[in-house]
Structure 1
Amino acid sequence: MKYFQNIILIILSICLVSCETSVDASDLLEKQQLVVINGYLSPQDTTLKVQVSRSKSRASSTNVKDMVIKDATVVITDEEKNEVALTYMDVSLNYEAPASGLTITPGKKYFLKVTALGKEYKASCTIPTESVQRIEKNIKIKEDEFSGNRLLKVTIGDIKDQNNFYIIGAVVTQSFDNGGGTINDGVENVNFEFRQFATDVSRENSVITAEGFFNLSANALPNPKLKIKVANAEKILYGALRATYLNDFNDGDPFAESVIAPTNIEGENGFGVFAGYQLAEVEETF
């Protein structure tokens, strides 16, 4: 299954935006098309977003916009029965509402209710209690330049005494002088490959690191900017994005088996993830 990825990456901006909804488990599609619902909540959000779509196989050439269900009813509720209704936005292909309409609080549980194609779907999530408090970086020149000329090593302070599921992303912004007083910015995602997914399960309170590569242009102006984002996510969100990455990476490999993404959407032919995360970020020049 594929939803939006823009690191944030969520990523969730890490995070989380390719707005494509596909299901890799072909056996799930044999009898009936699925209603795919994805929504990720964070206290750091400025906009609440949920996507509601029909599923499509990877082999399908159907336009992504044609798969989106635009007339659904989408409501998010908290434990105190406060609720906010999300409105469909054609620009983003999401149902959206300002985050000011419903406070997203660490440790609290939230409930999603969607009515689509005459059927009702439900899910719930719990926001992780903590975000990462320490993010350190080290940048060095790579010995080879076949996959970028700089290597970024990110070290994060593990949240102690609990199992955590981290998603790591970073972007580099370089400015270029085009003459005549015109300055343009170039933005590049740091490529962490599979290392963007890290967990302390079976090694609690350990050192968490991830290495990624990027290109630094000799023609850029001095002092490029680096923004690192680390999401502490619910296990199901970590598993869903990890499955998407693996399926994309192995796409076209006849010997690779598709990874079935987890789902917590309740309802007939429902599929997808409604989950919480906390986002930490640092930004600096180098």
Structure 2
Amino acid sequence: MMNPAYLLFGLPLLLLMGCGSLRQEVDPKGVVGEGEQVVVTCFISPQDTVLAARVSRSLPILGLGNQNDLDIPNATVTLSDGSQSVILRLQRRADPYNYGTMSILYRALASELAIVAGKRYTLTVQVPDGRQIRASCTVPEPVQLDQVELDSSTINEYGLIRKDYYARLHWQDPARQTNYYRVAGNNAYTYNFRFQPGPNTPVRDSTGLLWGDWTFSSAAMLTDVGRDGQAMRSGRGRLAINYLWINGQQQSSLARGPLYAYLLNVDENYYRYHEAIDRQRSVGDNPFAEPVLVPTTVQGGLGCFGAYNRSTLALQVN
């Protein structure tokens, strides 16, 4: 009969031996061999008032570099519709996502080059070392947003009761063509606060309005593949509201005032890029998740040049 001690110590040894076969040595030279590339990001729409592009450099996986200093400030950026063109001029501004740092954009007023549905546009970027990056896209036609369906639900979370508000978008998909969509929205919501008008006056409770974006429970990117020409409905978008603690009680705000729902009919460039970005973000820091390859539509570099056409439906929530 086999000694139980051999089972106790032998089984982990077998497991470790099995795991050892999963290890594979990687030559760092093979990883760093890809040099830095120019990265271009630009999206255009007939509804925009500003044409803007970002031009930066990629950071090799094992290379040396400052992640906060990737913008290229001396590029020549040109946007053309084939007959007219405009040069996007350099503009520095505070980066809203990195306090104390500046971001660089290339901008021009939309009045300098009209963005028209059905037209094809070409973006050209020239950097001082002689590299040239080109990308093209066609602006899709708008798709009318027909209806916004509002509802609410009461949530009991750890004994705390709150009310959440939701919206769904409805529209008719154009037949006999492939369409890609993005849904979005924002709304005003109430919030409670206390203030003291003067040094000798009592503290008052008051209510104000803030703005927030919707959060969709399912993907905000959709396609009509398998649903061509049908009536379409988005997933539920959770409206923006605020929660505060006052006198030990949770105060749930209301979605109140103006509400705007947006249906973006986007081109394939926009869809493929943002759909991959959304999947990449959903992975988070999970080391076992399948890597997400972000596509590029730029010749001679990396990035995306895409277009969309937006339809808006406004409501008043009381």
Where structure 2 has 5 or more consecutive residues not aligned to the other structure, the ranges are 1-29, 94-102, 198-203, 243-250
Q: Does 1:70 align with 2:81?
A: no
Q: 1:120 maps to what in 2?
A: 132
Secondary structure at the residue paired with 2:256? coil
Q: Does 1:249 align with 2:282?
A: yes
The structure where strand makes up a greater share of residues is 2
1:261 counterpart letter in structure 2: V
If you compute each CA radius of gyration, which structure gives the higher value, 1 or 2?
2
1:1-286 paired onto structure 2 within 5 Å: 30-56=33-59, 65-80=68-83, 82-91=84-93, 93-118=104-129, 119-128=131-140, 130-144=141-155, 149-176=164-191, 178=193, 184-210=208-234, 211-216=236-241, 220=253, 223-267=256-300, 270-286=301-317
Compared CA separation, residues 29 and 283, structure 1 to 2 (3 A): farther
Compared CA separation, residues 223 and 252, structure 1 to 2 (3 A): closer
Task: String of CA shifts for 1:218-251, please: whole Å, max 9, x gaps.
Answer: 6657833221111111112111011111101102
Q: Partners in 1 of 2:293 and 2:255 — Cα distance? A: 45
- Does the 8 Å contact 1:77/1:84 carry over to 2? yes
How many residues end up aligned between the 2 structures?
256
Q: 1:14 maps to what in 2?
A: none
2:175 counterpart letter in structure 1: K
Q: CA deviation at 1:135?
A: 3.3
Secondary structure at the residue paired with 2:219? helix
Q: Partners in 2 of 1:231 and 1:50 — Cα distance? A: 19
Q: Partners in 2 of 1:278 and 1:58 — Cα distance? A: 36
Q: Partners in 1 of 2:163 and 2:69 — Cα distance? A: 37
- Does the 8 Å contact 2:45/2:139 carry over to 1? yes
Quick one: percent identity of the two aligned structures? 27
Q: CA deviation at 1:77?
A: 0.9
2:227 counterpart letter in structure 1: R
Q: CA deviation at 1:196?
A: 0.6
**Higher RCO structure, 1 or 2 (CA under 8 Å, sep 6+):** 1
Q: CA deviation at 1:62?
A: 6.9
Secondary structure at the residue paired with 2:226? coil
Secondary structure at the residue paired with 2:173? coil
Q: CA RMSD in A?
A: 2.8
TM-score normalised by the chain length of structure 2:
0.72
Q: CA deviation at 1:142?
A: 2.1
1:271 counterpart letter in structure 2: L
Q: CA deviation at 1:205?
A: 1.0
1:282 counterpart letter in structure 2: L
